[in-house]
């Protein structure tokens, strides 16, 4: 059961299943013939948070994007999904004195690029535990690739809001070695743990269709 409250959300994260929200892989949302179209089921939204479910057919992709100033709970309800996520290096790699632990001064970044530290680059198969990302940690920028039909419960707090500075920004990611940085040849933790991110417009081939949620009701308290 999900409980939507006026100013916060309460739910037994590990206990939520596809049955609780009335979904099954055989539904039209998840047909391979529908790919790459992604369906978003809108469950609830208020000023404090939003709840929705992404329904991804096999091979569909939610491109690399951010969640500025937001905390996000994600739960894979069924299927197998590859998740790749990053945090900004200049936010998570700082020493106590403010210097960069990786030895790279942000002022030396190539034009238009920002260094990101790899957080996750793995496949997950339901049932599995939920993931939580934070404004500056936990993989704030992530990309989802459906290996099979997948359903992902997503809770955002607070939700995206352009006027309040929470704009969904998309990115390209490039291997660290693709660009040279003055006085740096090898990172202490290995180049494979970092990438250069570059802002991009929303991909033209990204198609997300909103559909009203018709599953079990959300209990409000």
Residue 65 and residue 170 in contact, taking contact as beta carbons nearer than 8 Å:
yes
- 30: CB partners within 8 A, 6+ apart: 55, 56, 57, 58, 149, 150, 151
* Predicted confidence (pLDDT) at residue 57 exceeds the cutoff of 70: yes
Helices (H) and strands (E) in the chain, counts: 1, 15
pLDDT (tens digit, 9 = 90+) per residue, 106-125? 888 888 999 999 999 999 99
List, in order of start, the domains of the chain with CATH numbers.
1-212 (2.60.120.10)
Q: How confident is the model at residue 187 (pLDDT cuts 50, 70, 90)?
A: low
Please state, in angstroms and as integers, the Cα–Cα distance from residue 17 to each residue in 11, 24, 52, following that order. 12, 10, 14
CB atoms within 10 A of CB 99: 11
Q: Are 38 and 171 in contact (CB under 8 A)?
A: no
Residue 38 has pLDDT above 90, yes or no: yes
pLDDT value of position 191: 80
Q: 132, 127, 145, 158: which is closest to 38 by C-alpha?
A: 145
């Amino acid at each position: 059961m999900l409980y939507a409250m006026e100013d916060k959300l309460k739910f037994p994260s590990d206990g939520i299943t596809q049955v609780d929200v009335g979904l099954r892989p055989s539904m039209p949302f998840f047909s391979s013939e529908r790919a790459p179209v992604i369906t978003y089921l809108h469950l609830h939204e208020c000023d404090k948070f939003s709840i929705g479910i992404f329904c991804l057919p096999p091979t569909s992709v939610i491109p690399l994007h951010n969640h500025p100033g937001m905390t996000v709970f994600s739960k894979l309800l069924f299927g197998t999904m590859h998740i790749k996520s990053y945090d900004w290096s200049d936010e998570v790699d700082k020493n106590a004195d403010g210097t960069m632990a990786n030895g790279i001064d942000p002022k030396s970044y190539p034009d238009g690029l920002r260094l990101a530290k790899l957080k996750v680059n793995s496949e997950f198969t339901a049932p599995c535990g939920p993931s939580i990302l934070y404004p500056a940690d936990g993989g704030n920028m992530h990309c989802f690739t459906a290996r099979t039909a997948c359903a992902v419960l997503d809770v955002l707090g607070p939700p995206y809001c352009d006027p309040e500075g929470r704009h969904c920004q998309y990115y390209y990611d490039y291997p660290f070695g693709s660009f040279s940085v003055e006085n740096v040849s090898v990172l202490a933790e290995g180049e494979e743990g970092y990438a250069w991110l570059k802002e991009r417009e929303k991909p033209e081939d990204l198609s997300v269709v909103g559909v009203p949620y018709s599953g079990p009701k959300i209990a409000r308290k």
